[in-house]
Amino acid sequence: MRKGLIIMAVFAFISGCTKQLPEEYTKRSSNQEDITGKLAKYATVKLDFDRSILSDSQIQVLEKLVEASNYIDQIFWHQADHYALAIRKELEKSADPIDADYLRFMNINYCQYDRQDGNKPFIGTREKPKGAGFYPEDLTKEEFEKYIQDHPEVEEEFNKLNTVIKRSGDNLIAVPYEKEYRKYLEPASRLLAEAADLCENESLKHYLQLRSDALLAGDFFESDMAWMDLEGNLLDIVIGPIESYEDGLAGIKASYEALVLIKDPKESERFSAFKEHLGALEQHLPVSKDYKKSDVALSSSIGIFTSINRYGDSNAGTKTIAISLPNDEKVREQKGARSLQLKNVIMAKYDKILVPIAQRLIDEKQFKYVDGEAFFTNVLMHELAHPMGLNYVRGKENMTTRAGLQDAYSAIEEAKADVVGLYNIRYYVSQKLLPKDWEQKAYVTYLASIFRSVRFGASSAHGKANMLELNYLLKNRAITFDPKKGAYAVNFRRMKKVIRDLAKELLRLEGDGDFSGARAMLETYSTITPETQRSLNRLTDIPVDLVFEFPM
């Protein structure tokens, strides 16, 4: 069957026709072990929270936030793949117990592609389109860029984070998210407004009112600014089109997600002193002053949260453990960013994944440095490092670093946050906010965590970033590998210098908007080597990530 006829048949099915999806979309193994083995890669964790700390009205607000977030979840199904929902519906109708497992695994991935295995299809044979559900399935990056070049009047709309690209005859058109996903956004917006009406906290009320409007207007600046001003509230929600990892074609389009959170005031206060040093940290970066912000918005905050429910992109495959938002460069310039640490998720990953990995791959003499609090602190350092360096390309005030690095941005930015975060540990030790021995704990725990992230596959931004870091550190002898023991160790003497050098290069790539340099670095360092693969093969019985049971 020709591709055009297949697509017509698929759309006929989605529209309610009785025709079945073609085999290239639906074929699956009849061997139960094939799918149960994939499910076994995830450890189930039950999320919960202390209801006694919330008032009756706060519980009501929480229920509204959860209900609104369920609509956001449905949008991401459309964004992950054009046909994911149709395939899911077919599985839901099946009485075959094997299909029940396929459905469970599809619900983990939000599509028919295994996010932990290079996005290989586990249902059907069709490769995942680079543009996911944001672009026509057959659109290439070259065609997309040429169309913009030939039609400069569409450039702004086509390069927006929140437009879907479609074909209209021989033309391409940009459809705003607020139009494309209206049937989901209207009830989500209404529920946020209802939650706002129930709020006791004025800053949360104001944010929810603005975010409710923003979902339908497609302009999130004012609500992002209001989110930065939240104070005195226990409840929080991240909701809207946030990250652009799903867009493998141009790295532009943002995916919808929602996280419903409860703040831990005591833990948040414990780490509040870290934010007072953000200006000094910017000046401490290992680059010349023209790669540093001259003014740092010190309204940035650090919050420790319990994650209770999550939806869409934040719940797909690899689970988010921390957040640094907003991504809007204008907000970051004026107010900085908020760092949200999801401690219950962080510690669940440490216990169920990182410690077993460290026991297998870290040299026995250095295993004593693997530490849960160091893991938590490294995650915090990563999030604090995201806003550091330039947001706009040097000499090009209207070009963001994201636009400058294009589809290389996400991986380079994740690597920058890892490495700059690790580099900043030394500063916090010098300020006596961390103990003297913290660098050793941070380095070895980071090394074990690299293997936790590399297991996501080198196709994801985080996987590419961590593979880049590992290969760079191995090449420069900051990390050593003993093939007889099969064990990795940190060369503490060299680690400080090599981390500094790598941080400097990553900050330069972003500041210069050096797309060709970023791509060259990724091509050189971000592939999984045979040696690393052999190490990863020793971890197959350890969960790769988590699946959550939600309390609401």
Q: Are 381 and 425 in contact (CB under 8 A)?
A: yes
| Res 114: pLDDT | 94
Q: Are 517 and 408 in contact (CB under 8 A)?
A: no
Instruction: Specify whether 395 is located in the same domain as 465.
Output: yes
Instruction: Specify whether 99 is located in the same domain as 202.
Output: no
The answer as to whether 222 is a domain residue is yes
CATH number of 397's domain = 3.30.540.30
The answer as to whether 74 is a domain residue is no
Give me the sign of the Cα torsion angle 489, 494, 499, 502.
negative
Which positions ≥6 away from 193 have C-beta within 8 Å?
208, 209, 212
The answer as to whether 143 is a domain residue is no
| Res 1: pLDDT | 38
d(C-alpha 342, C-alpha 241), whole Å: 20
Which residue type sits at 294? S
d(C-alpha 435, C-alpha 118), whole Å: 39
In this structure, what token pair is assigned to residue 376? Answer: 């938590």
The answer as to whether 227 is a domain residue is yes
CA dihedral 518, 252, 452, 236 (to 10 degrees): 130
479 phi, psi to nearest 5 deg: -125, 140
Which residue type sits at 328? D
Which residue type sits at 503? A
Instruction: Specify whether 243 is located in the same domain as 390.
Output: yes
pLDDT in tens, 269-299: 888 888 888 889 999 999 999 999 887 765 5
Three-state secondary-structure class, residue 476? coil
Instruction: Count each helix (H run) and each strand (E run) in the chain, helices first.
Output: 25, 13
Query: Each residue's pLDDT tens digit in the chain (552 positions)?
Result: 344 444 444 444 444 443 578 888 899 988 888 899 999 999 999 999 999 999 999 999 999 999 999 999 999 999 999 999 999 999 999 999 999 999 999 999 999 999 988 899 999 999 999 999 999 999 999 999 999 999 999 999 999 999 999 999 999 999 999 999 999 999 999 999 999 999 999 999 999 999 999 999 999 999 999 999 999 999 999 999 999 999 999 999 999 999 999 999 988 988 888 888 888 999 999 999 999 988 776 556 889 999 999 999 999 988 989 888 999 989 988 888 898 999 999 999 999 999 999 999 999 999 999 999 999 999 999 988 998 999 999 988 789 999 999 999 999 999 999 999 999 999 999 999 999 999 999 999 999 999 998 886 666 788 899 999 999 999 999 999 999 999 999 999 999 999 999 999 999 999 999 999 999 999 999 999 999 999 999 999 999 899 999 999
pLDDT in tens, 59-99: 999 999 999 999 999 999 999 999 999 999 999 999 999 99
Instruction: Specify whether 352 is located in the same domain as 271.
Output: yes
Tell me which DSSP letter residue 253 carries: P
Instruction: Specify whether 107 is located in the same domain as 198.
Output: no
The answer as to whether 89 is a domain residue is yes
The answer as to whether 52 is a domain residue is no
Instruction: Specify whether 116 is located in the same domain as 9.
Output: yes
Instruction: Specify whether 120 is located in the same domain as 253.
Output: no
| Res 47: pLDDT | 95
The answer as to whether 523 is a domain residue is yes
Instruction: Specify whether 212 is located in the same domain as 95.
Output: no
Instruction: Specify whether 99 is located in the same domain as 187.
Output: no
Domains in the chain: how many in total? Answer: 2
- Angle subtended at Cα 490 by Cα 486 and Cα 492, rounded to the nearest 5 degrees: 155
Instruction: Specify whether 102 is located in the same domain as 187.
Output: no
Instruction: Specify whether 105 is located in the same domain as 218.
Output: no
Instruction: Specify whether 491 is located in the same domain as 382.
Output: yes
Asked if the peptide bond before residue 326 counts as cis, ω within 30 degrees of 0, the response is yes
Q: Are 506 and 405 in contact (CB under 8 A)?
A: no
The answer as to whether 457 is a domain residue is yes
Task: For the chain, give the number of residues.
Answer: 552
Cα 67–chain centre separation: 22
Using a 10 angstrom Cβ sphere, with 0-12 exposed, 13-18 middle and 19 or more buried, the burial of residue 533 is: exposed
Which positions ≥6 away from 183 have C-beta within 8 Å?
none
CA dihedral 471, 477, 481, 482 (to 10 degrees): 160
Asked which of 128, 163, 197 is the last residue of a domain, the reply is 128
Pairing of strands 545-549, 479-482: unpaired
87: containing domain: 1-30+83-128
**pTM of the model as a whole:** 0.83
